Amino acid sequence: MSNSSNVQKVLIAGGGLGGMTAALSLLKKGIDVEVFEQASELKEVGAGLHVAPNAFRVLDEIGLAQEALKTACVAAGREVRLWNTGDTWPVFDLGVKSVEQYGFPYCTMYRPDLLAILVNGVRAIKPDAIHLKSSCQSFEQDTDGVTLHHNQGTARGDVLIGADGVHSKIRQGLFGNDSPIYSGLVAWRGLIPMDRLPEKMRRLVGTNWIGPGGHVVHYPVHGGKLMNLAAISEGNGDWQEESWNIPGSVEDCLALFPGWHDDLKLLIKSIDSPYKWALMIRPPMDRWGVGRVSLLGDACHATLPFLGQGAAMAMEDGFMLARALEVESNPITALKRYENARRDRTARIVNGSAGNTKRFHNPVLAEPETARAYVDREWAPDKIAERYEWIYTYDVTKALI
């Protein structure tokens, strides 16, 4: 490890996937880090996530590809199913084709599995890098560095990165409170032990059920032992709580999908305890940082989960941040270069995810006749390429910075 940068220490607020990717990427470049996480133990909220080829490239670059594959499910494909008839359209033939076309596999993973390998990677280089029960409260910066105040004391570094999620204290300190807009959608999530499902539903395939007023995504995680399900519905009244940990009930979730296919109902009934959260819209930010302080991941580009790229963008951010701090000696200039390299790509993800809401919930899906024509058009190969090729072919190691 070598480091020619003037940045000797980076403080990171938040120990999620983005913060840990940044920490490990920086440590591998010889830049010291300290991570401050408010939780008493490191665990990811949520259940599953897509690790598309662009995200897997990051894992490969930081030396975790083989470790990730031990618990990841390499997707054989992705498909669209119609809400009431169950008609199926294959939209991606992945498997080996992902490696041939994009250089890396398309995987689905259990979030705690991915966080664990990132944490282990950080601790293998610096065992005491991560400070738990450390809730970041405020900061101040001067010409020589940044001081972070947290409930356990203070920390001093050359740079501070807010990787502390949608309710970021660091973002509030930079720009004040944000004003998210309720999307009108509520997401339900749950995990299903795979052995509860009939054999025909235990496939290594990502499935997206689409219908009027809602859609449901499910895919295998944790080495194929679990099925992750996320159900998104409209018409949930005035409930607008933005938290991943609000318990719901199977009955309430089922009630939002009347008339949907029996396969889908079986999946929902197989969840022990679903959780729900209101989906909020935050327009892309024009600016991420001030001076020696900047943001990463959901803190600066929270997105609706309809492109499967939220975690991937945070991981790309973390790797790009390390690149910028390695090649640019001035920390303020480095953070600006990092922001400029990432802002347009992440904004396009935010806007594209919002656009998929109408695509997945279109009223024409109500009737099989109009639905089939709609799916044939919207999920035609040229449309798929237009929406996804630019995402998966992105190379975070070569992107201009």
Q: Is residue 131 a part of any domain in this protein?
A: yes
Token code pair at residue 66: 């083989």
Could you read off the pLDDT of 76-135 as tens digits, one per residue? 889 999 999 999 999 877 766 788 899 999 999 999 999 999 999 999 999 999 999 999
Could you read off the pLDDT of 129-153 as tens digits, one per residue? 999 999 999 999 999 999 999 999 9
Q: Quote the pLDDT of residue 15.
A: 96
Interior angle at CA 43, CA 41 and CA 49, nearest 5: 170
> Can you say whether residue 80 is alpha, beta or left, with left for phi > 0 and alpha for psi between -120 and 50 degrees?
beta
Q: Is residue 134 a part of any domain in this protein?
A: yes
CA distance 162 to 13: 5
Predicted confidence band at 1 (pLDDT cuts at 50, 70, 90)?
very low
Predicted confidence band at 305 (pLDDT cuts at 50, 70, 90)?
very high
Closest by Cα among 310, 23, 309, 291 to 299: 310
Q: Is residue 374 a part of any domain in this protein?
A: yes
pLDDT at 273 over 60: yes
The residue among 328 and 95 whose pLDDT is bigger is 328
Could you read off the pLDDT of 274-292 as tens digits, one per residue? 999 999 999 999 999 999 9
338-342 average pLDDT score? 98
Q: Quote the pLDDT of residue 236.
A: 65
CB 18 within 8 A of CB 338: no
242-255 average pLDDT score? 88
Domain that holds residue 155: 9-179+282-392
CA distance 203 to 262: 17
Which residue among the candidates 106, 219, 275, 338 is catalytic per the annotation? 219
Q: Is residue 224 a part of any domain in this protein?
A: no
Could you read off the pLDDT of 39-88 as tens digits, one per residue? 988 876 668 999 999 999 999 999 999 999 999 999 888 999 999 999 99
Q: Is residue 248 a part of any domain in this protein?
A: no
Q: Quote the pLDDT of residue 96.
A: 66
372-392 average pLDDT score? 92
Q: Is residue 225 a part of any domain in this protein?
A: no
State the CB neighbour count (10 A cutoff) for residue 376: 11
Count the domains in the chain.
Answer: 1
CA distance 181 to 197: 37
Is position 394 annotated as part of the catalytic site?
no
Token code pair at residue 97: 């084709």
How much is the pTM?
A: 0.96
CA distance 301 to 282: 8
Q: Residue 124 sits in a domain of what CATH number?
A: 3.50.50.60
Q: Is residue 186 a part of any domain in this protein?
A: no
Q: Is residue 256 a part of any domain in this protein?
A: no
CA distance 384 to 93: 12
Q: For the chain, what is the mean pLDDT? A: 93
CB 74 within 8 A of CB 105: yes
State the CB neighbour count (10 A cutoff) for residue 78: 23
Predicted confidence band at 2 (pLDDT cuts at 50, 70, 90)?
very low
Interior angle at CA 16, CA 11 and CA 19, nearest 5: 35
Q: Quote the pLDDT of residue 262.
A: 97
